[in-house]
Amino acid sequence: MKKRTRFISAGIILGIILAVAGILFLQRQSATPEKNPTTLLSSTEISDNLGTELVTTRQDDQATSTADYATTAQDQSYSLESPYIKVNPYEISPLSALIIFTTPQAASISYTVLGKTEGTSLTNTVNGGAQTVHQIPVVGLYADYDNTVKITVTYADGTTAEKSFTVTTSKLPKYISSVDISVTNVDKSKMDIGDNELTIINRTTKEPFAVDADGEVRWYLTEYSQHTIEQWSNGHLMILSKEDVNSLVYNDLIEVDVLGRVYKEFTFSSKTSATDGGEETTVIHHDLLELPNGNILATVSDGSVYKEDTLAEISYETGKVVKVVDMKTIFPESMYVSYQKGDDEKVDWLHTNSLDYDNADGTILISNRNQDLTMKFNWASDEIVWLYSGKEKSEWPDNLQQYVLTPTEGSSITGGQHALTLLEDEDNNPNSEDVLLFDNNINVTNGDASTSGKYSQAVQYHIDLDKMTIDQTWAWGKKLGKKNYSMIIGYAQRLSNDNTLIDFGFLSNGENSNIIEVDADGNQVFNLVVENAASKAYAYRAYREAFYSSDYVFDALNE
């Protein structure tokens, strides 16, 4: 009887153990991340999902204005003494004006918008050569102010004439006027501002704007933008925008000049595949550049459950996709199939956030945030040139190990980096190059866990392709510590006088951005703080640009 009892008890205990083991097994199974799809979309499917199209919606809306300005330019009654002046000529660039008049003989034109303080006047030479009909795009006005604009006419015989005008502007819109902008550590004599340069605050959303050395707003667009403002070779700006400010979708790419005139408009239908995992709100998500053939190269999502891991070349003439490269076809499957989905049910395993083009060899510099990876890629041959991350060479597949750069002692391992750009060739060696980036210094997957979150910095590297090494040659920002740690977004730009402009874009959980210009010795010459921006309106990027470039010509007579 006792034996039977012991047997029954043992059986019960065994049953309990098996049941518990089964529960634990099921728990372990449910805790194992479900693998993401391995079947990838074809280039045709990706192109179809992007749904690119060239339209003329905004140009059509502006056609009457352009025709009026063309008629005005042919009216001989407007002179230097009594010109035609139109503030905000296209109704989306309120701190600009169009001035039109004729002269009795051909002449060149320059103008100056007088600044409120020393070093803030903006002077531009009107491009296009000596003419008798003058269509002057004036930019750099102050808001809610009686601006003084001085025009200088220079005739072929060397004689000149000058005339000053008062140009009155309206108040700033609420999403700019509500932003608190403060400037410290300013040394205008050492800043790289030239005759006409402003600092563009390229926000994650809302209106983009530009400020002078005093932090005064001198240009903005009423069109909302997201992430992307790039100056094209013709001096126009390529901006990712949206037609409805209340929409979440930024899928209009517009080519616009400083006056607000739209020259091209590309739309994206944001179509997604049946297994997309959620609606795509922005197809071009972080960056684009102008290829030598005039086409647009953009970081895009492919329309599947994966996002922000594809490059697309879009025809400037037709708006159609002419080539796509899905980075899932370049890297091993292990990098994306087990990557955890985000709250949007999308797999953001790569997160390509910047592009730069090397004219010397037709290659592209690419920053991939979520792999803490920078790389160089040959767009023509689809071949990798080099790779750099905190992942050891031995951890890469055999076929990729030859491309992995080895850091020299003391060189930073980047984490969550942005804004990888190529610097000018200094040693005339085709097998070496210098690059600059903004190192957020967050260990996403392959960063430096020992320093992650302690600081962010701009970093310059020298890459030796003969030795396949990468050597840190300059950095700035580490001493600022946690105060200037930006876990997301940011930018670094090497200026023409060898200064560096650095955007610590996401500070205090997005409550402010800090933009600092330092000289080659690391001395601050400009420190701009942007606070109390609207939701997600912090400085995604900040960079110094000429207003306007030497390639920009406005001509209402030429469509």
Q: What is the mean pLDDT of residues 151-165?
A: 96
473, part of any domain: yes
- List the structure tokens of 108: 């060149």
pLDDT at 34: 77
542, part of any domain: yes
Query: 201: Cβ–Cβ under 8 A, 6 or more apart, which residues?
Result: 208, 209, 210, 211, 513, 515, 530, 539, 542
Q: CA nearest 357: which of 293, 286, 282, 283?
A: 293
pLDDT at 249: 83
Among the candidates 148, 168, 188, a domain finishes at 168
Domain that residue 275 falls in: 172-546
pLDDT at 354: 98
Same domain, 69 and 217: no
Task: Measure the CA dihedral 46/50/56/59, to 10°.
Answer: -130
Same domain, 263 and 162: no
Q: What is the mean pLDDT of residues 200-224?
A: 96
269, part of any domain: yes
Q: What is the mean pLDDT of residues 329-345?
A: 95
Same domain, 373 and 444: yes
pLDDT tens digit sequence for 437-458: 999 999 999 999 999 999 999 9
Same domain, 300 and 333: yes
Q: Give yes or no for residue 535 having a pLDDT over 70.
A: yes
Name the range with the highest mean pLDDT among 17-21, 300-304, 493-497: 493-497
Same domain, 436 and 449: yes
Say how many residues make up the chain: 559
244 falls in which pLDDT band (50, 70, 90)? confident
463, part of any domain: yes
Q: Give yes or no for residue 549 having a pLDDT over 70.
A: yes
pLDDT tens digit sequence for 389-409: 999 999 999 999 999 999 999
Q: Give yes or no for residue 7 having a pLDDT over 80.
A: no
Q: What is the mean pLDDT of residues 61-86?
A: 97
6 falls in which pLDDT band (50, 70, 90)? very low
Q: Which of 198-207, 246-255, 412-421 has the lowest mean pLDDT?
A: 246-255
What average pLDDT does the structure give for the chain?
A: 92
CATH number of the CATH domain containing 156: 2.60.40.10
426 falls in which pLDDT band (50, 70, 90)? confident
Same domain, 406 and 382: yes
> Do the beta carbons of residue 261 and residue 66 sit within 8 Å?
yes
pLDDT at 12: 42
Number of domains observed in the structure of the chain: 2
Same domain, 392 and 421: yes
Q: What is the mean pLDDT of residues 501-520?
A: 96
Same domain, 117 and 188: no
pLDDT at 130: 96
Torsion angles phi and psi, residue 236, rounded to 5: -80, 170
pLDDT at 277: 47
Q: Give yes or no for residue 10 having a pLDDT over 80.
A: no
CATH number of the CATH domain containing 459: 2.120.10.80
Same domain, 114 and 260: no
Distance CA 109, CA 126 (A): 5
243 falls in which pLDDT band (50, 70, 90)? confident
pLDDT at 274: 40
Q: What is the mean pLDDT of residues 421-436?
A: 93
Burial class (CB in 10 A: 0-12, 13-18, 19+), 54: middle
Q: What is the mean pLDDT of residues 264-284?
A: 66
Task: Measure the CA dihedral 270/366/540/505, to 10°.
Answer: 150
pLDDT at 559: 65
pLDDT at 189: 97
> Do the beta carbons of residue 455 and residue 477 sit within 8 Å?
yes
532 falls in which pLDDT band (50, 70, 90)? confident
Same domain, 406 and 456: yes
Among the candidates 120, 153, 168, a domain finishes at 168
Distance CA 250, CA 288 (A): 14
Same domain, 355 and 378: yes
pLDDT at 270: 61
51, part of any domain: no
Distance CA 368, CA 285 (A): 13
Beta strands in 204-360 (DSSP E): 209-211, 217-220, 229-231, 237-241, 252-256, 262-268, 284-290, 296-300, 310-314, 321-326, 352-358
Q: Which of 280-294, 327-341, 363-377 has the lowest mean pLDDT?
A: 280-294
Q: Give yes or no for residue 242 having a pLDDT over 60.
A: yes
Q: What is the mean pLDDT of residues 499-516?
A: 96
> Do the beta carbons of residue 156 and residue 105 sit within 8 Å?
yes
1 falls in which pLDDT band (50, 70, 90)? very low
Q: Higher confidence at residue 245 or residue 419?
A: 419
Same domain, 447 and 466: yes
> Do the beta carbons of residue 552 and residue 258 sit within 8 Å?
yes
72, part of any domain: yes
Of the chain, the percentage scoring pLDDT greater than 90 comes to 85
Torsion angles phi and psi, residue 125, rounded to 5: -95, 130
33 falls in which pLDDT band (50, 70, 90)? low
- List the structure tokens of 524: 């601050």
Q: Higher confidence at residue 485 or residue 2?
A: 485
Among the candidates 142, 168, 194, a domain finishes at 168
Distance CA 177, CA 173 (A): 6
pLDDT at 385: 98
pLDDT at 176: 95
Q: CA nearest 194: which of 551, 546, 528?
A: 546
Q: Which of 44-48, 361-365, 508-512, 535-539 has the lowest mean pLDDT?
A: 535-539
507, part of any domain: yes
| Helix count and strand count (H, E) for the chain | 4, 33
pLDDT tens digit sequence for 305-320: 999 999 999 999 999 9
523, part of any domain: yes
Q: Higher confidence at residue 202 or residue 20?
A: 202
Instruction: Kindly calculate the radius of gyration of the chain based on its CA atoms and give it in whole angstroms.
Output: 27
Distance CA 50, CA 45 (A): 9
Half-sphere exposure of 10 (CA within 13 A, CB side): 6
pLDDT at 148: 98
- List the structure tokens of 218: 């001198």
Q: Give yes or no for residue 515 having a pLDDT over 60.
A: yes
